[in-house]
Amino acid sequence: MALVACPTGSIGAQAHHDAHVGIDSFPEPLADNVYYCGFNAESSFGAWSYLIVRPDAAGGNVLIDSPRFASQLVKKIAAVGGVKTMFLTHKDDVADHERFAARFKCERIMHARDGAARLGTEKVISGDEAIEIDPDLIAIPVPGHTRGHMVLLYRHKFLFSGDHLAWSPHRKSLIAFRRACWYSWDEQTRSMQKLLNYDFEWVLPGHGRIHHDHPASMRKALRDCIEWMKTR
C-alpha cells in the first residue's frame, strides 16, 4: 500500500512485490462509509485524499481533495458510484481536480480566496461563515494556512482538515503546521477556535496523522492545541 500511495514512487524493496495487492487495497475503509484514497499526488505535495460513499438520495459520493488520476483508482471510484461533489480544502491540494471533474461531472467546491474562480470550480464559497452544503456536510472557512482554506465536517463526526489541523504522533497532540503556514498564524489560531463550536470524532488531515477520539476528548485536545498555538 505504501508503494502505491507514495506520490513520487520513492519506496523500494529488495523483494519483488505484486503491486496489485496494494492497488486493490484502495480506497481503504477507515470508518462507516469513509475511505482513504491512497494514490497520493506529487502535485498535491503528497497530501492524503478521502472518499465518502453515499447513495445519491443521501447526496452522493464526496471526494475530498485530489488523489492521482490513476486508472485503477478511478475505476474503483466509478464502481461505487463515481463522484458527485469534490471538496477542495485549499489551493495546494487540487492536483488532478480537472480530470476528476471531467470524468465524473462532479461539482467542485472551493473558497474564493484560494483562487476557486481561476480554477474553474463549479461552486465558489466566499466569506467566513460556515455553509451547509447538504444536511450532512458543513464547509467551514478556516483562513490561516492559506487565505481560503476550508475544512469539511461530515455528520458531526468526521472533520476533513486539509492542512489546517492534524495529529502529531511525536507530541501526541493535535497540531497545526507552524513552518508551513503560508498566510497568517494569528488567523489560523482564530480559525482553530471556531472549531470548538463543533462536535467531531475524527480528524482526517492532508498531512500528519489521523486522529480518532470521543468528541469531548477531541474538544479538549483542540483547546490544548489552541493554547500551544498561542505560544508559537
- Closest distance of CB 149 from Fe ion, Å: 8
Residue 96 or residue 163: which is nearer to Fe ion going by CB? 163
Footprint of Fe ion on 184-223 (CB under 5 A)? none
What is residue 53's DSSP assignment? Answer: -
Provide, rounded to whole angstroms, the least separation between the CB of residue 195 and Fe ion: 17
Nearer to Fe ion, 76 or 91 (CB): 91
Least distance (Å) between residue 162 CB and Fe ion: 7
176 within 8 A of 144, measured Cβ to Cβ? yes
Give me the least distance between CB of 71 and Fe ion, in Å please.
Answer: 26
Question: Is position 65 an interface residue for Fe ion (rule: CB under 5 A)?
Answer: no
Report the distance separating Cα 12 and Cα 34, nearest Å: 29
Give me the 139-178 binding string for Fe ion, x by CB under 5 A, dash otherwise. ------------------------x---------------
79's enclosing H/E stretch is helix 71-79
Answer for which of 65, 92, 96, 187 binds Fe ion (CB under 5 A) is: 92
Q: Which helix (H) or strand (E) holds 124?
A: strand 123-125
Going by C-alpha positions, the residue among 66, 92, 72, 91 that lies closest to residue 83 is 66
Which lies closer to Fe ion via its Cβ, residue 61 or residue 66? 66
Chain centroid to Cα 228, Å, comes to: 23
Instruction: Indicate the residue among 36 and 92 with the shorter CB distance to Fe ion.
Output: 92
User: What are 84's three cell numbers?
Assistant: 458527485
Mapped onto helix, strand or coil, the DSSP state of residue 174 is: strand
**Please, what is the minimum distance in Å from the beta carbon of residue 147 to Fe ion?**
12
Describe the strand order of the beta sheet including 131-134 as a list of residue ranges: 131-134, 137-141, 150-154, 158-162, 202-205, 211-212
* 87/104 with CB nearer Fe ion: 87
Where along the sequence are the contacts to Fe ion (CB under 5 A)?
92, 163
